[in-house]
């Protein structure tokens, strides 16, 4: 009987120790979970920024096939004119802008600032170039929302009609 009581006492003591982890154990467990989640978020944000970088490269080269892989099927471009706010419209915008930039002697589009927070990526792009000896430059701010690793929504600091007007005025002046 004594042996049974001792075994029960030892067993219940062991169970109590297993059921109530120490503050240190809890703290370590929480810290590990937070670190794992931060690493996951950082990896997603890095991948999202890389997607936008590839998008900018495709935009400057006019490579709509590459862009097709980067733009979500349900894409919405909020500052594009009516009829050009979806994925097909984005392809048309890329073709139009690339056609205009194609008439430049040289053009360079690059992100001056690029950062991410969750599914959102913000970018300030800077474009500069020359056409017939005249210098061109622009700065634009973009906000992208990504879904499934693809551009899902887009907003920018000025609408396409304004950008097109600026480009067309520059083309006229550089002829």
Bridge partners of 113, per DSSP, are: 124
- Distance CA(149)–CA(52), nearest Å, equals 10
Full domain range(s) for residue 144 = 22-173
Q: 15 lies in a domain?
A: no
pLDDT at 88: 92
Q: Which two tokens stand for residue 158?
A: 């000025």
Is the pLDDT assigned to residue 21 strictly greater than 70? Answer: yes
Higher-confidence residue: 142 or 174?
Answer: 142
| 162 domain residue, yes or no | yes
In a domain, 4, yes or no: no
Q: Residue 63 CB: number of other CB atoms within 10 A?
A: 15
139-154 tens-digit pLDDT = 889 999 999 999 999 9
User: pLDDT tens for residues 33-58?
Assistant: 878 777 788 889 999 999 998 888 87
Give the model's confidence band at 3: pLDDT under 50 very low, under 70 low, under 90 confident, else very high: very low
Dihedral pair phi/psi, residue 145, rounded to 5°: -110, 130
- Kindly state whether residue 94 falls inside one of the protein's structural domains: yes
Q: How confident is the model at residue 7 (pLDDT cuts 50, 70, 90)?
A: very low
Residue 113 tokens read as 């600032």
For the stretch 117-127, what's the b/e string if a residue is b when 16 or more beta carbons lie within 10 angstroms of its beta carbon? eebebbbebeb
Tokens of 17: 């120790």
Residue 152 three-state SS:
strand
The verdict on residue 11 lying in a domain is no
pLDDT of residue 9: 47
Among 28-32, 55-59, 156-160, the least confident range: 156-160
**Whole-prediction pTM:** 0.72
Provide φ and ψ at 109, rounded to 5°: -115, 130
Q: Domain with 50 in it: what CATH number?
A: 3.10.450.50
Q: Which two tokens mark 156?
A: 């920018």
In a domain, 84, yes or no: yes
**CA 112 – CA 97 distance, rounded (Å):** 20
pLDDT surpassing 80 at residue 20: no
Residue 76 — very low, low, confident or very high, per pLDDT cuts 50/70/90?
A: very high
6 in a domain, yes or no? no
Residue 88 is assigned to a structural domain of this protein: yes
Q: Domain tally for the chain? A: 1
Tokens standing for 157? 């600091």
Measure the CA–CA gap between 161 and 56, rounded to whole angstroms: 19
- pLDDT digits 0-9 by tens, 78-133: 988 889 999 999 888 888 888 888 889 998 888 889 999 999 999 998 889 999 99
């Amino acid at each position: 009987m004594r042996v049974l009581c001792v075994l029960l006492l030892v067993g219940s003591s062991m169970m109590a120790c297993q059921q109530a982890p120490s503050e240190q154990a809890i703290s370590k467990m929480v810290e590990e979970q937070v670190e794992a989640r931060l690493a996951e978020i950082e990896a997603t944000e890095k991948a999202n920024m890389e997607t936008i970088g590839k998008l900018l490269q495709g935009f400057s080269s006019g490579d709509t096939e590459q862009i097709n892989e980067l733009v979500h099927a349900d894409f919405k471009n909020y500052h594009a004119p009516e009829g050009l706010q979806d994925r097909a419209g984005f392809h048309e915008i890329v073709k139009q802008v690339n056609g205009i930039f194609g008439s430049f002697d040289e053009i360079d589009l690059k992100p001056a600032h690029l950062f991410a927070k969750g599914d959102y990526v913000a970018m300030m792009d800077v474009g500069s170039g020359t056409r017939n000896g005249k210098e061109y430059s622009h700065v634009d701010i973009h906000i992208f929302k990504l879904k499934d690793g693809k551009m899902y929504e887009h907003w920018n600091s000025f609408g396409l009609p304004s950008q097109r007007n600026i480009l067309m005025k520059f083309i006229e002046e550089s002829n």
